[in-house]
Chains A and B, each alone.
Chain A
Amino acid sequence: MKYAFFPGCSLESTGWDFDRSTRAVCRALGIDLVDIPDWVCCGSTPAHTTNASLSVALPVMNLQKAKEMGLPVLTACASCYARLRTANHTVLNDPEERGRAERVTGKPYDGRVEVRHLLDVLVNDLGVDAVREKVRRPLKGMKVACYYGCLLTRPPDIVAFDNAEHPSCMDRLLTAIGAEPVEWPYKTECCGASLSITRSEIVNRLSHRLLSMARQAGADCLAVACPLCESNLDLRQADAVKAHGAIPETPVLYVTQFLGLALGLSSGDVGLEALTVSAESLLAGIGRDQ
């Protein structure tokens, strides 16, 4: 299994632990990631709310590079994933927009380079059984709320590899590595995304709602697959608590950090030191690094 890897800007900065743990887990599971050379930002929300041509052209630049590599694209950031898939969808279905994208990038593109999310590949190609076989340190007794957020499953006609309202891929993976995912109703509620910068009081309210619901449902921690979700729930947790009332400190880990630990990787291998709310309390239950 070989993919053209699109890390995206967040995995180079605020989400470097997502980058490290994604690469480590893929290595351990035999998934070969080749970085797209000189990849560029997908444009994210600022591009699609500012300039429609740009919001297609930036992802297309990366897809054109992947086409030259002759590989399908794999990405871990939920937001990059949605932007790359949306660009493909637009180019495939709208000849006028395709023309625009080709004029703007100065190169042809037919919209047919396949774009996959890491979770999709793990669950649907590799399969949870193959993951289970490689477990060396089961996350026994760990109660996790899987938080999918907004862009991993929406809009369903563009990104769908899981159910839009009740996704289960992370829950299945975590079950396979010995953890106990809890049932809870806010799997796909939005955390406020980049409003964290412009209107942090809104994100505090949303994060608090998510964290307290996860706790009420019996979870000790959360699993996420997006750098924005991570920072809104982890880095901003103290602010949310200050504004809206006490919740026990709740570690928020990337799903790849849980996977890495279960596969026998050390906390440094998966970058746990990047977390604001320490994961120490969780490690105590599953045994130290080997």
Chain B
Amino acid sequence: MPDTLEWQNNTFLKEVERRSGTPVSACFQCHKCSTGCPIGPDMDLLSSQVMRMIHLGEELQVLESQDIWLCASCEACTTRCPMQIDIAVVMDSLRMMAVERKVELPNARGEQFNRSFLQSVSRNGRVFELGMMVAYKLRSRDFFTDAEKTGQMLAKGKLSLLPKKSGSARAVADVFRRAEEEEKKR
């Protein structure tokens, strides 16, 4: 049957399954994952539709969708999938693949936030929230959202002006370097 052959030639499906370590091909489209997804109303492609697109080998359409960046990693889908597919981890793998392949990111804020956060951790061993927010604002050029919150948070002692560095910050910087090398080998 040609259908079976198509299926076997689907390198995108195979790669997603290998990287996420979860059987995406077992999805039988019950849509239970999408029904419970809190972000569903904001998504163009629901999580079950993302699974189907992967079956169909629609690599670009999936990797360029904003939906993989909207997922909040709440694990509701993973918890409820009758086929034990770890959908939240699939979303993680898709984000990493999108960045690696340098596809056009539709709304890059999620990625800009991740980079700002991790840069802060690699420098201090911990998140320095104020520094991280400034870095994120510069990257996203989204200067107005929540500008007034910063003042409120400073007043409540929720943001400190200086980083609280971990004594292991150096070791963390090494861990970042080695983790990046490991990822290249995947």
Residue B152 lies at the interface, judged by CB distance under 8 Å to chain A: yes
The 5 closest A-B pairs by CB, nearest first: A190-B74, A38-B167, A150-B74, A154-B75, A198-B109
What is the size category of the interface that chain A forms with chain B?
A: 35 or more
**When the two chains form the complex, which single residue of A14, A58, A190, A235 contacts B76, counting CB atoms closer than 8 Å?**
A190
Residue A44 lies at the interface, judged by CB distance under 8 Å to chain B: yes
List 6 A–B pairs whose Cβ atoms lie within 8 Å, in order of A's numbering: A9-B126, A13-B160, A46-B118, A50-B95, A104-B178, A199-B109
Residue A180 lies at the interface, judged by CB distance under 8 Å to chain B: no
Q: A40-B126, A103-B178 are in contact. Are A61 and B168 (CB under 8 A)?
A: yes
Complex interface bits, B133-175 against A, C-beta within 8 A gives 1, otherwise 0: 1001000100001100100110011111000101111011011
Contact residues in A for B171 (Cβ distance below 8 Å): 40, 61
Complex interface bits, B115-141 against A, C-beta within 8 A gives 1, otherwise 0: 101100100011101000100100010
**When the two chains form the complex, which single residue of A41, A51, A190 contacts B126, counting CB atoms closer than 8 Å?**
A41
Report the minimum CB–CB distance from B114 to chain A (whole Å): 4
Residue B9 lies at the interface, judged by CB distance under 8 Å to chain A: no
Q: A49-B92, A154-B76, A197-B136 are in contact. Are A104 and B175 (CB under 8 A)?
A: yes
- B39 x A192 contact (CB < 8 A): yes
**When the two chains form the complex, which single residue of A50, A106, A165, A190 contacts B72, counting CB atoms closer than 8 Å?**
A190
Residue B10 lies at the interface, judged by CB distance under 8 Å to chain A: no
Contact residues in B for A43 (Cβ distance below 8 Å): 118, 121
Report the minimum CB–CB distance from A125 to chain B (whole Å): 25
Q: Which of B84-112 contact A (CB under 8 A)?
A: 86, 88, 91-92, 95-96, 99, 109-110, 112
Interface size on B, residues (CB 8 A): 64
CA distance A49 to B93 in the complex (A): 7
Contact residues in B for A12 (Cβ distance below 8 Å): 126, 164
Contact residues in B for A106 (Cβ distance below 8 Å): 174, 178
Report the minimum CB–CB distance from B59 to chain A (whole Å): 19
Report the minimum CB–CB distance from B179 to chain A (whole Å): 4
CA distance A45 to B118 in the complex (A): 10
Contact residues in B for A154 (Cβ distance below 8 Å): 74-76, 78-79
**When the two chains form the complex, which single residue of A37, A94, A150, A202 contacts B167, counting CB atoms closer than 8 Å?**
A37
Which residue on B lies nearest to A193, using beta carbons? B72
Additional 19 contacts, C-beta under 8 A, given A165-B79, A199-B70: A13-B159, A13-B164, A41-B125, A52-B92, A52-B186, A54-B183, A58-B172, A94-B21, A150-B74, A150-B75, A151-B74, A154-B78, A156-B79, A188-B76, A193-B72, A195-B70, A198-B112, A200-B146, A235-B152
Report the minimum CB–CB distance from B111 to chain A (whole Å): 8
Contact residues in A for B164 (Cβ distance below 8 Å): 12-13
Residue A118 lies at the interface, judged by CB distance under 8 Å to chain B: no
**When the two chains form the complex, which single residue of B39, B159, B182 contacts A104, counting CB atoms closer than 8 Å?**
B182
Complex interface bits, A251-269 against B, C-beta within 8 A gives 1, otherwise 0: 0000000000000000000
Contact residues in B for A134 (Cβ distance below 8 Å): none
Contact residues in A for B172 (Cβ distance below 8 Å): 40-41, 58, 61
Residue A47 lies at the interface, judged by CB distance under 8 Å to chain B: yes
Report the minimum CB–CB distance from A136 to chain B (whole Å): 27
Contact residues in A for B86 (Cβ distance below 8 Å): 155
Report the minimum CB–CB distance from B41 to chain A (whole Å): 8
Which residue on A lies nearest to B110, using beta carbons? A198
Complex interface bits, A1-26 against B, C-beta within 8 A gives 1, otherwise 0: 00000000100111110000000000
Complex interface bits, A138-160 against B, C-beta within 8 A gives 1, otherwise 0: 00000000000011001110000
- B79 x A45 contact (CB < 8 A): no
Q: A49-B96, A104-B175, A106-B174 are in contact. Are A197 and B78 (CB under 8 A)?
A: no
- B74 x A54 contact (CB < 8 A): no
